[in-house]
Amino acid sequence: MNKPLRIGIAGLGTVGSALINLIDRKQELLRQRCGRPLEVTGISARDKNKARDFEMGAMQWIDNPVELAKSDNIDCFIELIGGDEGVAKDCVVAALNAGKHVVTANKALLAKHGVELAALAEKAGVLLNYEAAVAGGIPIIKVMRESLSANSVERVYGILNGTCNYILTRMEDEGLSFEECLADAQRLGYAEADPTFDVEGYDTAHKLAILCSLAFGTQIAADEIYVEGISSITYDDIKAAGEMGYRIKLLGVAQMTDSGVEQRVHPTMVPINSSIAQISGVTNAVAIDADIVGQLIMSGPGAGGDATASAVAGDIADIAKSRPGHQHGPALGTPSEILQSYKKARMRAHEGGYFIRLTVVDKAGVFASVATRMAEQNISLESIVQHRGGKNDNNSPDTSTAQPIIMITHETTEQAIRLALENIETDGHLIGKPQMIRIEK
């Protein structure tokens, strides 16, 4: 029988435990498919005595994950600790330097140090796999890194955070508040330890930074991403979007433009009949526009123990099938030394349609002045709706005279929209802040 692949796992939370149980449950299938058994030989976590739902059996417990990463007792190191610095980074670097293959689910680490880690893996001739870091159980890294080798990607975008999609779906379906839905997402275990990472868009941004590098062969540039979260989205926005034929999703979008690469995370209006609009709950989806294949869209569970463990186990199986001396593909699809430097497109140059929701004082001339401010910036309106007797959701004392105005613009620039809204605010007819949501085709 071929020698087993010896696996060391650091981090035994939801995903680590699910992975150990999965490898145990599917050991015969994995052995057949990999041509060798997979054996968890070492584990490490913060607290050895914590109750866990698997038997330790012959697994060696090592308190220090960096020691486990270098141990002679493993061939492959699995990092499920999390965090973009500290022990997670130390043990991944130690494992790569010791010539171990590495699998990680750590998007924050890759978003910050992915290029450096990819270079270390290339130098050591080992695999650095990270399928679970982006969109949970969806095998998007493999598709972008391997299957699309002959394609030039034009745009990659998606719903990359299950917590936000869950919140937006429940707000729409049940008319609940943002806070109620977030509390449920936390209770169900979808949200990050600090939920602002989810709802303010940073988790999506980390995942997008990785996809962007794979798509365009550029250095990872997470700090260059324009990020807006969903905490300012109200039920009134969701309802108004629906009336105009749109649904609101938090999207991460990376797109090649004439002036550079646009990377942005923000609430987005998508046509209600589009595939991406149908993605509900904790489900993630990633869409790719590429020159040869056209459009691909993949959806599936973006969070949760089993879905994430499925992606990690797939990465481990790839390692088990690889052979020493075999030339492994680069971790980021393009060899790290020829990744292009990242050229950022200015957000103000972004072109697209916009949804604007204003709450205005109900008096003569206000509507005309809003229209004038839009016209001054050469913004053409596709549709405009003003409801009678609107209600103000900004808790202004002036609710008796509040009137909502909802506009959809034709394609324009971010610069024009921002100037128009600044001028509308200066005119002093608004109650509360204007809401502006970008439309994605």
- The residue ranges that bind ligand HSE (CB under 6 A) are 136, 161-163, 190-192, 198, 203, 302-303
Residue 136 or 333: the one with the smaller Cβ distance to ligand HSE is: 136
**Minimum distance, C-beta of residue 115 to ligand HSE, in the bound complex (Å):** 21
Token readout for 425 is 């605010």
Which of the following is catalytic: 70, 89, 100, 207?
A: 207
* Active-site annotation holds for 207: yes
**CA-CA distance, 202 to 108, in Å (whole number)?**
9
**CA-CA distance, 65 to 67, in Å (whole number)?**
5
**Minimum distance, C-beta of residue 423 to ligand HSE, in the bound complex (Å):** 38
Kindly provide the b/e burial profile for residues 241-273, where b requires at least 16 CB atoms within 10 angstroms of the residue's own CB.
beebebbbbbbbbbbbeeeebbbbbbbbbbeee
Residue 204 or 322: the one with the smaller Cβ distance to ligand HSE is: 204
Token readout for 104 is 């990680």
Q: Hey, is 137 helix, strand or coil?
A: coil
Pairing of strands 435-439, 402-409: unpaired
Residue 280 or 396: the one with the smaller Cβ distance to ligand HSE is: 280
Residue 198 or 440: the one with the smaller Cβ distance to ligand HSE is: 198
Instruction: Give 264-326 as a DSSP string.
Output: EEEEEEEETTSTGGG--TTEEEEEEEETTTEEEEEEEE-SSHHHHHHHHHHHHHHHHH--TTS
**CA-CA distance, 346 to 408, in Å (whole number)?**
23
Residue 303 or 320: the one with the smaller Cβ distance to ligand HSE is: 303
**Minimum distance, C-beta of residue 80 to ligand HSE, in the bound complex (Å):** 12
Kindly provide the b/e burial profile for residues 333-372, where b requires at least 16 CB atoms within 10 angstroms of the residue's own CB.
bbebeebeebebbebeebebbbbbbbbbebeeebbeebee
**Minimum distance, C-beta of residue 267 to ligand HSE, in the bound complex (Å):** 15
**Minimum distance, C-beta of residue 250 to ligand HSE, in the bound complex (Å):** 10
**Minimum distance, C-beta of residue 130 to ligand HSE, in the bound complex (Å):** 12
Residue 198 or 414: the one with the smaller Cβ distance to ligand HSE is: 198
**CA-CA distance, 165 to 274, in Å (whole number)?**
16
Catalytic amino acids? 207
